[in-house]
Amino acid sequence: MDISDTEDLLSLREHFRLSEHALREAHKEGLRAEDVLYAVLHGDIIEQYPERQRVLIVGPVRQSETPVHVVCDYGSAELVAVTVYIPNRPHWLTAVNRG
């Protein structure tokens, strides 16, 4: 499957949902479900993992400069956010560049 942006990804899915794990991780980061959805809708795909049918999306939190990473699984009729985190060092130099 050729996925070039989040619009492509979302247009091919019937539903979007957050896994329980993603909700827990978002909560640990001080984020709400609506923050994660906003990041996905306004974000960019920065890495693709076709063998696992997953992508890494970086997107903004509404009314904030904080970037959020959302790993999404597109292997079924729904797009599932499987984990959420705020990128930080040493793993990430910037929101889009690994350390």
How many H-runs (helices) and E-runs (strands) does the chain carry?
Answer: 3, 5
In degrees and rounded to multiples of 5, residue 11 shows phi and psi of -70, -20
Residue 69 lies in a domain: yes
Q: For residue 96, what pLDDT is reported?
A: 94
Range of the domain at 11: 6-85
Residue 97 lies in a domain: no
Which tens digits make up the pLDDT trace of 72-90?
A: 999 888 999 999 999 998 8
pTM: 0.91
Would the pLDDT of 63 be above 70? Answer: yes
Residue 18 lies in a domain: yes
Which tens digits make up the pLDDT trace of 40-54?
A: 999 999 999 999 999
Neighbour-count burial of 13, counting CB atoms closer than 10 A to its CB (0-12 exposed, 13-18 middle, 19+ buried)? middle
Give how many domains the chain has, as a whole number: 1
CATH number of the domain bearing residue 79 = 3.30.2310
Residue 93 lies in a domain: no
Residue 77 lies in a domain: yes
Which tens digits make up the pLDDT trace of 3-27?
A: 777 887 788 787 899 999 999 999 9
List residues bridging with 98 in a β-sheet. Answer: 92
